[in-house]
Structure 1
């Protein structure tokens, strides 16, 4: 068997050129492969094609995700796109897009009568969301010298928002030195005071922006820094010490009275037996009171056989 001819690739190339000449083989392109539009505006998904012989190719649009779903098939829009999309040639316009419409789309052109019968191109749609009013967590009071964290976040903006903090309507600048008294993170919205002082008291607010639409600011809130109440601390310590002393004295008294003794039950029985014997001896001198005396039998000890003997 002879080897493969070195001219075979050239022959294949010539055959392809011959098939597409003088016409052009089916081609599918897009003038915008990445489309970014604001939420609730219209998005144009461009798709242009050129065929060799087939004048009526089949046009299909699909959306890729966990599963591939039809957008345009058999001359009609499908699913959520029905009634809110138009097509011109192969270019599709989606009206009032939302986050559910974001994703990757594929335009497919099928020309059965062409030598190359299938062509496709992809278009990615990104739906931009302007900032919403951010959620701000600002403590109303704090104690001097403590660590205080203020949080600001907008969960809905696309792309993610960046954050700026204001005190008394004046912007708080980023700290320039590592030994600054506070930390400010514009990407997460964190404003942290390492050790607050009374000078940090004021009215704080946060601004979220992402370049899409107008920035949004949360409602300003007052934060008051107070000194430690020494009097309250001293009183609390004295009260706790008094409670501990009372508990200790009570425990000592109970222990002295035998409340925690292991033989408390036996001592109680001995005391009761002694009193019963005393009452019985008195009753012997007064027969009329014998019937009123409650008899308490002595405890019976187990008889232990210690020695055997014979009579």
Structure 2
């Protein structure tokens, strides 16, 4: 650096060092968002807790705000005389006594409580820095009872058509159904898909059909096992299973027959007639001899 005296160079290095140190402190000590924790599949009627995890570092907190589907429902401002403020929203009822700058508790949630929840944190003077993060919540209404299997028979023979349905009644969201044949998941070409039926209260009934022709391999140990499972995310998994008797022979045994020669023609008669015919012929010959 031509023309710069040694003392100027030292002064310049000191000023640069001080600037880098301030910049470093600014990056480390500013407000950071760590995570937002929202239950993914809570059940209707339950209370849920929403967590906003942040690190102020050297900043001072100005406010924490919560939004559901971009509509504000909760605000915490520590500098106000009443720090907590809640705003009415369908499906969102804040439990104020169990809420603060880090956590919000919602009371008795419903299907309307589903949505995207976002937490926004703002720092006070001098940085006024703002950070936010969000997470999804899908409220679950459990099905009315276990899945049911209909259309089955007490016994199947090789060649019979198996035609059954599995139904899971009234839930939200609709239960996901699967069929199993003797413990093995049924192939897609054996399934009959149905659109879920929507009720007036928003609940859905799901149904899945199973169609196939019974083969010898379907009757290990003389039994056919059919199982249907119903699943909703990680909160609901139930199944119904039925075992029915299997018959490897075709329906109805084939009749045996035996040919009887009479003159120039051959008559095919059931073997059960032969003893009667022989008895009749013997009695006729006996009468002819007596005459």
Per residue, is there more helix in 1 or in 2?
A: 1
TM-score relative to the length of structure 1? 0.46
TM-score relative to the length of structure 2? 0.48
Per residue, is there more strand in 1 or in 2?
A: 2
**Of the two, which has the highest radius of gyration?**
1
